[in-house]
């Protein structure tokens, strides 16, 4: 019985191409799941006790940091979490534009800023933009950007310290939407 080697080679080539096509991407592209990122609207940074910052070094994480404000001149609410990952108490500072805030955290403490109801008078940056931020701990500073978020986002309305006229902010969203307009 004669074996058709051409046909066998074609099928082997197709099988190899399918195998490389479905698994080869991870060989040449970094996996997105290995990157640390801020999964919400706020931003994050880490201040390491050792400026070389190895994995075993003490650290303070500033996570999901943002300010909910209606304007650059108005009052804003600070949101986010500060996690002292060290074995000792830490005094940390968070500077957003010209406003400096200080917090004392015990060893391994997680501080939710929303629970503290911290407000900032005149954050100096319009909502939708990024403010200049500096996180400080262990005598080290880390510069990062801080999200300035409008209180029109439903998930942030309850955190906003001022009065919000929702209709004033969302009415334009319903113009020219035909049958999908909001009924008054």
> What is residue 51's predicted lDDT score, i.e. its pLDDT?
72
Burial (CB count within 10 angstroms: exposed 0-12, middle 13-18, buried 19+), residue 146:
buried
The pTM is what?
Answer: 0.71
Residue 150 DSSP SS3: coil
Question: In the predicted model, what is the mean pLDDT of residues 127-147?
Answer: 94
CA–CA gap between residue 145 and residue 52 (Å, rounded): 22
Cβ neighbours around 178 below 10 Å, total:
5
Long-range residue pairs from 167-175, CB within 8 A, at least 24 positions apart, any chain = none
CA–CA gap between residue 43 and residue 80 (Å, rounded): 9
CA–CA gap between residue 14 and residue 167 (Å, rounded): 60
Say whether pLDDT at 147 is over 80.
Answer: yes
CA–CA gap between residue 153 and residue 160 (Å, rounded): 10
DSSP 35: S
> What is residue 179's predicted lDDT score, i.e. its pLDDT?
56
Say whether pLDDT at 108 is over 90.
Answer: yes
> What is residue 39's predicted lDDT score, i.e. its pLDDT?
66
Say whether pLDDT at 102 is over 80.
Answer: yes
> Mean pLDDT for the chain?
82
Question: In the predicted model, what is the mean pLDDT of residues 2-21?
Answer: 76
> What is residue 181's predicted lDDT score, i.e. its pLDDT?
54
Residue 16 DSSP SS3: helix
> What is residue 26's predicted lDDT score, i.e. its pLDDT?
62
> What is residue 37's predicted lDDT score, i.e. its pLDDT?
62
Task: State pLDDT tens for residues 35-86.
Answer: 666 667 889 999 998 877 666 679 999 999 999 998 899 899 999 999 999 9
> What is residue 5's predicted lDDT score, i.e. its pLDDT?
78
Q: Is the separation of the CB atoms in 113 and 83 below 8 Å?
A: no
Task: State pLDDT tens for residues 12-32.
Answer: 888 877 777 666 666 666 666
> What is residue 171's predicted lDDT score, i.e. its pLDDT?
60
């Amino acid at each position: 019985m004669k074996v058709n080697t051409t046909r066998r080679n074609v099928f082997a080539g197709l099988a190899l191409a399918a195998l490389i096509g479905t698994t080869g991407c991870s060989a040449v592209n970094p996996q997105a799941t290995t990157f640390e990122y801020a999964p919400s609207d706020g931003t994050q940074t880490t201040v390491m006790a050792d400026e070389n910052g190895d994995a075993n070094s003490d650290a303070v994480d500033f996570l999901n940091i943002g300010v909910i404000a209606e304007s650059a001149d108005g009052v804003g609410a600070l949101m986010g979490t500060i996690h002292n990952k060290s074995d000792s108490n830490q005094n940390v500072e968070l500077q957003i534009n010209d406003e400096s805030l200080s917090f004392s955290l015990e060893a391994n403490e997680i501080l939710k800023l929303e629970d503290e109801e911290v407000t900032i008078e005149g954050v100096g940056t319009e909502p939708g933009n990024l403010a200049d931020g500096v996180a400080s701990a262990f005598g080290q500073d880390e510069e990062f950007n801080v999200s300035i978020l409008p209180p029109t986002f439903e998930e942030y309305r309850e955190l906003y310290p001022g009065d919000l006229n929702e209709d004033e902010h969302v009415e334009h969203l319903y113009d020219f939407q035909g049958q999908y307009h909001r009924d008054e």
